[in-house]
Each structure stands twice: as structure tokens, then as C-alpha cells.
Structure 1
Amino acid sequence: MRRITTTGLGHTRVLNDLLQNLFITELLVPSSQLWVLSPWISDIDVIDNTAGQFKTVLPGMPARHIRFTEVLIELARRGSDVRVLTRDVESNTAVRQRLEDVGGLSARPVVKIRPNLHDKGIVGDRFHIQGSMNFTFHGQAVNDEGVTLTSDPHEIAGARIAYNAKYQV
């Protein structure tokens, strides 16, 4: 288990590296099911591919920062059952539209609105990250936040069972 806190003084390398490593791992071996819970969500940079170092993992992607929606769409394309829960607020509209308007994919991320959602986290087959952070620019770089990462299979299974029971999508 690992706890990461941010100070609200800009991007935190530890947090950005954590997100990047988790998503690169997911792209290499996609989870059967990936839950993303974020009441407020934006298309934050999650992979720094500016040197093109991930071209074998993301063939055809240019050498630039890779955004959250691009990773979620690619994971769905690779067979992961991606489920995104968020609130129906104007600031979430762009991300919701990007995830819902993906053409040519039989399996695409499922986006559901939960008006009172306050839970935040991501759970895949090999990890569960949870805490106070929304997946937004402010959550990533401005607010004081705390997230906990676990790779304990029992905790991951418990979170997945709870998410499936509570948030039936």
C-alpha cells in the first residue's frame, strides 16, 4: 500500500509518475474491467510521450502528452470493460462527449451519471487507487489531495465487488 499526498503547489512528479505507470501497465495488459469514479473529470495528461518513448505501447500516437480519454478509449478498444461514473455538470461535458462519441468501436467506455457521486478512484485487475482527488487539472496540480494505492488482491476484489453492487452499470 502506498499513500501519496500533494501540496497544491503544481504538478507532483510522484503522482504523475504513478498515473503514468498504472496506465502504461494497463495498456500492456488491460484489466478485464476498469472502474473510474470521479464526480468532476477532465481530460488531464496521464502519459508523457513527448519523446516518443511509448510508441510501441501506443503505435500511431504522436510524440506528445497522452490524455485520459485517449487511454480509456484505447483500453476499451483492447478489450477492457471501461466504466466511468461522474456527475452531470457542465465541466464534465467535454470528457463525457469524447468517451461517448467514439466511432467504430463495438466496445467503448460506458459513461454513467450519478448525481450524488462523491466517491473517487480507479480499480483494475491489479490495483486500486482511491482518495480525495478528482481526475481533473485541479485534482492533479492545484488542490491538496491524498490518494492511496493498493495492489493487494483481496482489497482489489472487495472494491470491484462493492463498485459492481453499488454502481450497477
Structure 2
Amino acid sequence: MNNRVIRSHGGSQSLKDCLISLFVAETMIPSREIYLISPYLSDSPIMNNDFGEYTDIFPLLEGKVVHLSDIFKTLVWKGAKVRIICDPDREETKRFLQTMDGVVECKRLVNNHEKGLVTSNFYIHGSMNFTYSGININGEKINITSDTSQVNQAMMSTQARWEEAERIEY
């Protein structure tokens, strides 16, 4: 996959399957730095682990559902530096950050509407916040690329945004 566009209306199995594939692949060989830009966040369930199929990939998992926080905690445990730019004033976002137990770095950008996830392997961007509604309910348009040039450009741009952002304590 070099480039892909997913249009999700009322939740899309294509979107969910793509996120699962990307998160599993990223967890197998984590990037050094991972940036999530999403004004709103929630600890959305990403994949079911009813039969233990993801237990080896997410060894810190304590339940039968892999949530967004489980993925990021595992990535940090495997040595990745996870950095999140969000709006911490939203109650759902506050709860997500508390779930992270301080294992990720967080900053705020005033009036930010940008949304995306950047690793050294792929770049997801579009209209979707990384919330339950964004992944499962809302109509969204998401662009996904693994094109090295686009991923590198996104990484440099996001690193610059990170430097402009204000650190938050949670």
C-alpha cells in the first residue's frame, strides 16, 4: 500500500481493519517517534482479543479488548517515544490522558483542527478524531500513505508543530 483513501459513513469495517493492520504492524517493529494529533481523544476499543490472538503482540493487555491506550502503552514499553497533541480541556480527552498514566508526552496547540497519526512507516490524516465516534460512528475521510517521501515530510512537519506546542501536565 502506498496511498489509500477510506470514506467512512456510520463506521466502516474497512477503516477498522486498516487501523488494526497498521497498529499491529507498528507494534511489531515500532518507530522511534510516533506523533498523534487529534484535538479530541477517547480510549476507543480498536480490536477484540476474545481468543487471545493479540496477546503476544500486546503482552501488557489485561482484558479481551485492545484499546487505543493499550496500543500506545505497548509501543512505549517497546521503546517508542509517543507524543500526543490534543485539547486536554475536553472531558473525554482528560480521561484518555489519565488512562495513559504519564507514559506519553502531551502538548496543546491553540485552535488546532489538524488530525493525524505519523510514524516512520505510515501517515494517516483526514477528518477523523481518534475517538470512538470518529472511528465507529461519524462520516470521515481518511488518507493513509506509506510513501516514504510523504511520510518523511509529514514527520518533519509534525515535529515542527510539536516544537510550537505548549506542554501540558495531566
Fold conserved between structures, TM > 0.5? yes
Residue of structure 1 in register with 2:151 after alignment: 156
* Structure 1 CA distance for aligned equivalents of residues 46 and 126 of structure 2: 17
Residue of structure 2 in register with 1:105 after alignment: none
* Structure 2 CA distance for aligned equivalents of residues 85 and 63 of structure 1: 27
Q: Aligned residues: percent identity?
A: 30
The answer to whether the 8 Å contact 2:61/2:70 transfers is: no
* Structure 2 CA distance for aligned equivalents of residues 165 and 86 of structure 1: 15
Aligned residues: CA RMSD: 1.4
* Structure 1 CA distance for aligned equivalents of residues 110 and 69 of structure 2: 21
* Structure 2 CA distance for aligned equivalents of residues 160 and 15 of structure 1: 22
* Structure 1 CA distance for aligned equivalents of residues 67 and 99 of structure 2: 11
Secondary structure of 2:20's counterpart equals: helix
* Structure 2 CA distance for aligned equivalents of residues 98 and 117 of structure 1: 23
* Structure 1 range deviating more: 15-24 or 51-60: 51-60
Gaps of 5+ in 1: 103-107
Q: CA deviation at 1:60?
A: 5.2
The answer to whether the 8 Å contact 1:128/1:150 transfers is: yes
Residue of structure 2 in register with 1:92 after alignment: 93
The answer to whether the 8 Å contact 1:31/1:125 transfers is: yes
The answer to whether the 8 Å contact 1:3/1:146 transfers is: yes
Aligned length: 161
Secondary structure of 1:117's counterpart equals: coil
* Structure 2 CA distance for aligned equivalents of residues 13 and 161 of structure 1: 31
Q: CA deviation at 1:30?
A: 0.5
1:32 aligns with 2:38: no
1:5 aligns with 2:10: no
The answer to whether the 8 Å contact 1:38/1:119 transfers is: yes
Q: CA deviation at 1:55?
A: 1.9
* Structure 2 CA distance for aligned equivalents of residues 63 and 42 of structure 1: 17
Secondary structure of 1:130's counterpart equals: strand
Q: CA deviation at 1:62?
A: 4.5
Secondary structure of 2:46's counterpart equals: strand
Residue of structure 2 in register with 1:44 after alignment: 44
* Structure 1 range deviating more: 54-63 or 81-90: 54-63
2:94 maps to amino acid:
T
* Structure 2 CA distance for aligned equivalents of residues 112 and 71 of structure 1: 19
* Structure 2 CA distance for aligned equivalents of residues 55 and 97 of structure 1: 23
* Structure 2 CA distance for aligned equivalents of residues 63 and 77 of structure 1: 18
Alpha-carbon displacement from aligned partner over 1:114-135 (angstroms, at most 9, x marks no partner): 2312110101011000000001
User: Post-superposition, which runs of at least 4 consecutive aligned residues in structure 1 deviate over 3 A?
Assistant: none
